[in-house]
Amino acid sequence: MDSLTEGEIAQIATLQRDAGIRRLSHHFQWFEFSGDRLSFHQAFVYDVAMFTTERGFSWANVIRSAVLAKDIFPQLHDFDIHKFWSLLRYVLCEHLSNLTPVHRHVFTQYLIDTCISRRKLFQVVVGGVVEESVAQKHLEVQLPPTPCPLAQGTDLQEWEAQSQQQTRLASSLQQTEEKLRSLRAGPRVTLGDISAPSDGELNKKTIMELVQSAVRTAEGQILGSLSQEASLLSDILQLKLQQEALATGRHHNTDTSQMAATKAKMQTAKQKERMTENAKQELIQ
């Protein structure tokens, strides 16, 4: 204890916490506890000494406060505020009788607050109930993902413009598909629309003439209908391509659009041939 001089305690105050605890502990004899309980005891003494250092106590009184803390720690196993207050008045008069009223009040309040807030811990450590498990709760804070910088994201005005364009495309696509359905559901010319001879006599020659007449009559209508259907199919494909470009954030160039339109026309031409053949079969039947 005599080795703990004012110069030594001043040096200890400049060290990091772990190093300061070890160096301060070398100046005392520790008979009360061992193991983890001893570590708590030494840390308590160090914390009290550093508190008085921060509050401007003289180095002599800092040393006395460390001695006081070492003496009262073993008596905290059964903390009672009234008993503790009596104990505190006694040790203050014995070790720190020359404290100013301000320092006495500050030091007393610190010890009371510390012992009350850590009462259960002191009861376990000082009382020797080392088998008692102390439950610990692990709190995790889930943070939302960090948003991309504006350079990597989409500007608000651009996003609003894209949303409006997407709405217009969806409306146009719906209207175009409705036109296509109406066109396909339209009336077709059949033999029933061709007037038969008034005498009611039908032979092979007459039937062939009726079929040829029906085909010629329906040809113009079929070609016009298929032309409109090809145009509508091309429009539908273009609208879908524009929707995909908006959804994926890519911009299709003109060549891609032209290739898609050409493909649509080829598909429509094939469908046109099939429809013409079907129409002829219907007329023959």
Q: Which of 226, 234, 230 is nearest to 186 (CA)?
A: 226
**What confidence score (pLDDT) does residue 140 get?**
75
pLDDT in tens, 236-265: 888 888 888 877 764 444 445 555 555 555
Same domain, 101 and 168: no
pLDDT in tens, 38-56: 888 889 889 989 999 998 8
Distance CA 8, CA 230 (A): 98
For residue 106, give the amino acid letter.
V
Same domain, 118 and 180: no
Q: How confident is the model at residue 19 (pLDDT cuts 50, 70, 90)?
A: very high
Q: How confident is the model at residue 16 (pLDDT cuts 50, 70, 90)?
A: very high
Q: Which of 75-84, 147-156, 182-191 has the highest mean pLDDT?
A: 75-84
Instruction: Write the burial class of residue 145 (CB in 10 Å: 0-12 exposed, 13-18 middle, 19+ buried).
Output: exposed
Same domain, 117 and 214: no
Look at residue 266 and tell me whether its pLDDT is greater than 70: no
The verdict on residue 122 lying in a domain is: yes
Same domain, 119 and 16: yes
Same domain, 56 and 123: yes
Domain final residue pick, 88, 105, 127: 127
Q: Which of 185, 172, 181, 183 is nearest to 235 (CA)?
A: 172
**What confidence score (pLDDT) does residue 46 get?**
92
The verdict on residue 137 lying in a domain is: no
**What confidence score (pLDDT) does residue 236 get?**
86
Same domain, 196 and 117: no
Same domain, 110 and 10: yes
The residue with greater pLDDT, 115 or 200, is: 115
Look at residue 108 and tell me whether its pLDDT is greater than 50: yes
Q: pLDDT averaged over the chain? A: 75
Distance CA 85, CA 228 (A): 101
Q: Are 139 and 123 in contact (CB under 8 A)?
A: no
How many structural domains compose the chain?
2
Same domain, 252 and 173: yes
The verdict on residue 143 lying in a domain is: no
**What confidence score (pLDDT) does residue 264 get?**
56
Mean pLDDT of 113-131: 72
The verdict on residue 94 lying in a domain is: yes
The verdict on residue 136 lying in a domain is: no
Mean pLDDT of 129-134: 50
Expressed as residue numbers, the domain containing 248 is 157-284
The verdict on residue 140 lying in a domain is: no
Same domain, 183 and 244: yes
Distance CA 55, CA 166 (A): 68
Q: Are 222 and 148 in contact (CB under 8 A)?
A: no
**What confidence score (pLDDT) does residue 75 get?**
79
**What confidence score (pLDDT) does residue 253 get?**
44
The residue with greater pLDDT, 131 or 24, is: 24
One DSSP character per residue, 93-142 reads HHH-TT--HHHHHHHHHHHHHHHHHTHHHHHHHHHT-TTS----------
Q: Which of 9, 47, 51, 50 is nearest to 26 (CA)?
A: 9
The verdict on residue 96 lying in a domain is: yes
The residue with greater pLDDT, 89 or 151, is: 89
Same domain, 170 and 266: yes
**What confidence score (pLDDT) does residue 116 get?**
78
Q: Are 277 and 285 in contact (CB under 8 A)?
A: no
Distance CA 74, CA 246 (A): 74
Same domain, 202 and 98: no
Same domain, 267 and 169: yes
Look at residue 98 and tell me whether its pLDDT is greater than 50: yes
Per-residue tokens: 141: 């804070």
The residue with greater pLDDT, 193 or 137, is: 137
pLDDT in tens, 163-187: 888 888 888 888 888 888 887 777 6
The verdict on residue 270 lying in a domain is: yes
Query: Which percentage of the chain shows pLDDT scores above 90?
Result: 5
